[in-house]
Copies of this chain bind each other. A is one copy, B any other.
Amino acid sequence: MLSKNKIKFINSLKKKKYRKETGLFIAEGVKLVNELLSSGFQVHLLCATPEWMNASNYRKQTNIKELIPITQGELSRISTQINPNQVVAVAEQPAYEISEAELTNTLSLVLDTINDPGNLGTIIRIADWFGINNLICSHSTVEVYNPKVIQSTMGSICRVKVHYRDLEEILSKYQNITDFGIYGSFLEGANIYKTELSEKGFIVMGNESHGISGKLIPFIKNRLYIPNYSRKSDFSPESLNVSVATGIICAEFRRRVV
């Protein structure tokens, strides 16, 4: 039985202000919650229908602080989804440190002012697919604990570390490391298929409308461009969606340098 206060508390976490104050976030649905539990996320509160409780081995989990059995009706009062799916977790936002040694030796994604929650969620899924462990976002990028972002990661939030940093500071720190690439996606630049790609570096992706900010451009060592095969006309396509472009670029890095 879910008290009015608990319902109010869970619903307050749909607002960024309260997520920030409490350091908590909401994740929902069987797949996502099960991955969260297995990945060792601290779950402050778990609200689950009998259906989930019967199928789950939650009794073995030591990272659930409080479990409240709920009805389908109660589920729909706390869910952010049109079709709520058995379980809602309130989890603690993990505090990741950036490991310089790891960043220096791997490929990471850097996001400059990505505004759309669906795009951020999809990019986290892409990072996960291509084995990219770290995603460094500008402070102006949409908050990763927004429920729309969390749900659209489809569980990848459990495997990709998302950091928020001052990007000028980060890029200036890494710009002089030998064999470390700083790539940016542009609408003009070097054809990605004809550019040498390093297995260590940053891939910088810019805002949906404005691309990479002017202040970051001096740090980009290689401008990458995905060739356009559109028939030439007065109006040709302006760009690809940022998450599609991220997918194509990551796929090309992994095709050539694993």
A contact residues vs B (CB 8 Å cutoff): 34-35, 38-39, 118, 122, 125-126, 128-131, 133, 154-156, 158-159, 193, 226-231, 233-241, 243-248, 251-252, 254-255, 258
Question: A243 is contacted by which of B39, B129, B241, B258 (Cβ under 8 Å)?
Answer: B241
In the assembly, what is the distance between CA of A126 and CA of B238, in Å? 11
In the assembly, what is the distance between CA of A251 and CA of B155, in Å? 26
B238 touches A226 (CB 8 A): no
Interface centre among A130, A237, A240 (most CB of B within 10 A): A237
Q: Which residues of B contact A243 (CB under 8 A)?
A: 241, 243-244
Smallest CB separation, A164 vs chain B (Å): 23
A237 touches B38 (CB 8 A): no
Q: Which residues of B contact A247 (CB under 8 A)?
A: 240-241, 244-245, 247-248
B193 touches A230 (CB 8 A): no
Q: Which residues of B contact A226 (CB under 8 A)?
A: 129, 251
With A159-B230, A231-B159, A247-B244 as known contacts, state yes or no: A129 contacts B237, CB within 8 Å.
yes
B38 touches A238 (CB 8 A): no
Residue of chain B at shortest CB distance from A131: B229
A228 touches B193 (CB 8 A): no
Residue of chain B at shortest CB distance from A191: B255
Q: Which residues of B contact A125 (CB under 8 A)?
A: 237, 240-241, 244
Residue of chain B at shortest CB distance from A248: B251
With A154-B238, A155-B238 as known contacts, state yes or no: A129 contacts B254, CB within 8 Å.
no
Question: A255 is contacted by which of B128, B193, B233, B254 (Cβ under 8 Å)?
Answer: B193
A156 touches B118 (CB 8 A): no
Residue of chain B at shortest CB distance from A245: B247
A229 touches B130 (CB 8 A): yes
Question: A258 is contacted by which of B156, B229, B234 (Cβ under 8 Å)?
Answer: B229
A254 touches B227 (CB 8 A): yes
**Closest 10 A-B residue pairs measured CB to CB?**
A131-B229, A244-B247, A128-B237, A248-B251, A35-B235, A122-B241, A129-B237, A130-B229, A229-B254, A131-B230
